[in-house]
Amino acid sequence: MRVLVCGGAGYIGSHMVRRLIRAGHTPVVFDNMSTGHAWALKEAFMGAEEKGITPVAVEGDVLNLQALETLFDNHEFDAVMHFSARSLVSESVEKPELYYHGILVGSLNLLAVANRAKIDNFIFSSTASVYGTPECMPIEENCLTKPITPYGHATKMVEMILEDYAQAHGLKSVALRYFNAAGADPEGGLGELHEPETHLIPNVLRAILGQTPPLEIFGNDYPTPDGTCIRDYVYVNDVADAHLLALEKLAGQSERGFTAYNIGSGRGFSVLEVMAAAERVTGQWVPYKFAHRRAGDPPVLVAAAEKARKELGWSPQLPILDEIIRTAWNFMNSRAA
C-alpha cells in the first residue's frame, strides 16, 4: 500500500517508515522537520531499493493546507498515518494555544484533503493522556476519558472528530493511544533524540553518560509505593507494529467506523524502577536529585491492551523493560561514537 506518513522523520514516525518498507509498503513522508531528523529518514529509507520500493520525502507542514493540497495532487495514497503533532504533556500546560492549534488545525487540514481525495483509511497517533488521572487501573479503552492537559484535550477532540467523520464521510479510522514509547530499533541508526530532551529514559541515560546535569526526578510525593510516577513503557517497534496491524484491519474493513486501542505493555514502572533498570543495563549509577512535580503528570498510567490483542492480533514483542532500555542505550552509544 502507499501510505502517507505525516511526521515520518520523528522518533516513532521513522521507526514506522522502516517497518512499512520491511513489510513491502511504500511510504510518502510529509514532515516539517521541526523535530524530525534528515538522518533518521535516510536510515529509515535504507534497503527500500532492494525491495523495489521508492519511498518519498516531502518537507511541509500539516498546518499549511495549500502544501497538503499539492501533496495530494502529486501523490496517490491508500492510507494516512498521522504522527505530526507536538506531544509533550507539560509543554502543553504552559502553551495551550500551541497544542490546540497544532493538533486541531493540523488534523482538520489532513482530514479535509484526505476526504477530498477519497482516502478512507486513517490511523491517528493518540495518547494515554486522553484518560487524564484515570479512575480505573489498568486502563481499558472504555474507562472515562477526562484529560487534564491541553495535549490530552486536543487529542481527545481529534478522536471525536474522527468519529464524526465516520458518520458524515464514511471514514474508517483507528486511534492508537500510546502509553510511553521507548527504545530503539536494534538494526541501528534510529532512536529517540529530542532537543531539548524531556523523556525519562533518554534523560536517565544522558545523566549516566555525564552529558547532562544529574537527572531530576519530578516529584517523590505521589500516591505510589515509592512516591514517583508510574508509567507503562512500550517498545517503539511494537508501537509501529500496532500501526501495521491497524492498517491491515482498515484495508480489509468495508464498513465505516472509528476504534481506539491502547498500546501499552500492561506493566507499570516507577521513575525509580526505571533508574534501577538503567543501572542494571549499563552497570553505572544514575546521578539524580528530587525536584518538584511537573505540570500535567498523573501519578499512574498503565494500559490494559486486551482489545488490541483481540481485535488487531497485537502483542508486544519486547515487553521487558531492561531490554527496551538496552536498545536505547545502544542507540545512544552509537550516536556518541
Q: Return the active site residues.
A: 151
| Shortest Å, Cβ 289 to ligand UFG | 10
Cell numbers at residue 176, please?
Answer: 492508537
Contact characters 31-70, ligand UFG, x per CB under 6 A? ----------------------------------------
Is 179 among the residues that bind ligand UFG (CB under 6 A)? yes
Which of 24, 214 has the CB closer to ligand UFG? 214
SS (H, E, C) 114-176: HHHCCCCEEEEEEEHHHHCCCCCCCECCCCCCCCCCHHHHHHHHHHHHHHHHHHHHCCEEEEE
Residue 238, Cβ density class (10 Å: 0-12 exposed, 13-18 middle, ≥19 buried): buried
* 194-213 residues near ligand UFG, rule: CB under 6 A: 198-200, 203
| Shortest Å, Cβ 114 to ligand UFG | 23
Which of 203, 237 has the CB closer to ligand UFG? 203
Is the omega angle on the peptide bond into residue 223 within 30 degrees of 0, that is, cis?
no
Among 69, 140, 216, 248, binds ligand UFG (CB under 6 A): 216
Is 231 among the residues that bind ligand UFG (CB under 6 A)? yes
Q: What is the DSSP string of 225-261?
A: TTSS-EE-EEEHHHHHHHHHHHHHHHHT--S-EEEEE
Which of 267, 294 has the CB closer to ligand UFG? 294
Is 229 among the residues that bind ligand UFG (CB under 6 A)? yes
Which of 67, 236 has the CB closer to ligand UFG? 236
Count of residues that bind ligand UFG according to CB under 6 A: 22
Measured over the CA atoms of residue 323, residue 235, residue 332 and residue 4, the dihedral's sign is positive
Is the omega angle on the peptide bond into residue 196 within 30 degrees of 0, that is, cis?
yes
Is 128 among the residues that bind ligand UFG (CB under 6 A)? yes
CA count, 13 A, side-chain hemisphere, 68: 24
Which of 75, 199 has the CB closer to ligand UFG? 199
Name the β-bridge partners of 176.
125, 261
Is 121 among the residues that bind ligand UFG (CB under 6 A)? no
| Residues at the site binding ligand UFG, with contacts judged by CB under 6 A | 87-89, 127-129, 179-180, 198-200, 203, 215-218, 229, 231, 271, 294, 297, 301
